Amino acid sequence: MKTATVKTWLKRCLLGGLLVAPAAHAQTDDDPYAYPEDEPGPTQEQLDEEEAYERRRRNADQVQEFRDIAEQEGEEGDFKRLAGTDDPNKGFAAELIAGALLLDSSRGRFAEPLFGMGIRATWEYGRILDIEPLREALWADLRWTFARQTDGTDFLKAGFSQHYFTIAPAYELKFGKSDFGVFGQVGGGIGYQSTFVDIDSAKTNVSGIKPVFQYGVGLRGRPRVFGDSNMRLSFRVEALGFRRGYLNDFFLGGSAGVAF
């Protein structure tokens, strides 16, 4: 009697527990577990954003590096100047000169027109100052200008040659950031004149030297020949005066050459 009673009591407890417990349902709305190798990669938009961020970071680091270099002190305690770090040009040029040389006439004319030629070397000495506005604004010429004239017959012939050797600094006003500008120039040197008279076989030569004061204005250009090359085309159009004693000679012409 006791064993049957216990079994009946256990059965009733089990049935009651099943009735009270909530029903279990399958979780059909849960997503399957995602393994690492099944995860999708970054999109193209995300890659572009990462690349843009890295580019901005590199640019910021480069700017900071230039600032650090500029703030460093030199060996003598002076700040380092970076005006010429991005310009590989040395500031030298050589040009051939040609034009009209109008000599002051001793025969009452306006002028004695001659064909003048010569050569000049230019140095942009403003680069040694390390001041950006003056780097290409200050320069100087070492110039030789020459003209010659002869007249007469086989029996009687006369002529002369005129030479100018001058050094003239100049100041150039650039057209914005272009390679062109206008300039004013003042300098000095010596003028050498040689005169000859030939009468049959007799020859007479007379020469002399006078100080010369040079002045003038002009247009100067230095465009690049190639995009990445240091060489430039250098040319000018100018009007110059040469004052020798009480005489005023003028040169109207131009020049062309190379700069580097």
- What distance in Å separates the CA atoms of residue 134 and residue 126, rounded to the nearest whole number? 5
Consecutive H or E run containing 2:
helix 2-20
- What distance in Å separates the CA atoms of residue 145 and residue 165, rounded to the nearest whole number? 7
pLDDT number for residue 36: 54
- Work out the pLDDT band at 114, boundaries 50, 70, 90: very high
- What distance in Å separates the CA atoms of residue 231 and residue 185, rounded to the nearest whole number? 24
pLDDT number for residue 255: 97
Average per-residue pLDDT for the chain? 81
User: Model pTM?
Assistant: 0.65
Q: Which residues pair with 209 in a beta bridge?
A: 192
Q: Is the pLDDT of residue 251 over 90?
A: yes
List, for residues 164-197, the tens digit of each pLDDT value.
999 999 999 999 888 999 999 999 999 999 998 9
More confident of the two residues 62 and 224: 224
DSSP tag of 29? S
pLDDT number for residue 70: 62
E strand intervals along the chain: 92-103, 112-123, 138-152, 156-174, 180-199, 202-221, 232-244, 247-259
More confident of the two residues 82 and 144: 144
- For 154, how many CA atoms within 13 A lie in the half-sphere containing its CB? 0
Q: Is the pLDDT of residue 109 over 90?
A: no
Q: Is the pLDDT of residue 130 over 80?
A: no
pLDDT number for residue 69: 65
- What distance in Å separates the CA atoms of residue 194 and residue 206, rounded to the nearest whole number? 6
Q: Is the pLDDT of residue 248 over 60?
A: yes
pLDDT number for residue 200: 81
Sequential DSSP letters for 62-116? HHHHHHHHHHSB-TTSPBPP-TTTT-----EEEEEEEEEEEEPPSSSSS-EEEEE
Residue 53, Cβ neighbours under 10 Å: how many? 10
Give the highest mean pLDDT range of 4-8, 107-111, 130-134. 130-134
